[in-house]
Amino acid sequence: MCKVSEVADYMIAKAAKLNEENPVAGYELDFYKLHKLLFFAQGWMLEKYDHPLFCDGTILRSENGPYFHALVRDYYSKWKDQSITEPVEEPVPFPSFITEVLDEVVTMLGNMSRDKLSSYTKELLEQFSKYDSENRERNIIRENDTRNYFQSNNILLELI
């Protein structure tokens, strides 16, 4: 399993490369869009390999979709209101089955707008539970819920 920050750095580098190859394709990332892509990467990993992607990836639900507490802690102050143009750290190498999932998510979904990705993740999260502004514990998106939803709905194929 991987650290959220390592996967984020890999996705940032991948999106930057795709943007360099085709600047009009729309692979710009921002802090909020990155959370959505990470959530889809977790779901896709669970769907394809029945194995979680993250070792430190508590996914919480907000009014605007999923977010990763570890990423908020490490990245928010640097990129809260701007495009992310380079990884914080040099991306670490991952096993090929992980890079395959990450490449697919960034390539297929990374050029969607933040708002479009938000609408998809909001729809998905409605299947789990309602957002609770009073109790953060109730906003944890459980791995098993994510696995069951992605495996039963083949969600990523529906999005592309």
Query: Per-residue pLDDT for 41 more than 90?
Result: yes
For the whole model, what pTM was predicted? 0.85
The residue written with tokens 């083949």 in the block is 154
Q: Mean pLDDT across the stretch 40-44?
A: 91
Q: Which of the four pLDDT bands, split at 50, 70 and 90, describes residue 118? A: confident
Q: What's the structural domain count of the chain?
A: 1
For residue range 23-33, what is the model confidence (pLDDT) as tens digits? 888 888 888 89
Residues with Cβ within 8 Å of residue 53, at least 6 apart in sequence = 1, 2, 7, 41, 42, 45, 46, 98, 101
Domain that holds residue 117: 4-159
User: Residue 65 is inside which H or E element, if any?
Assistant: strand 65-68
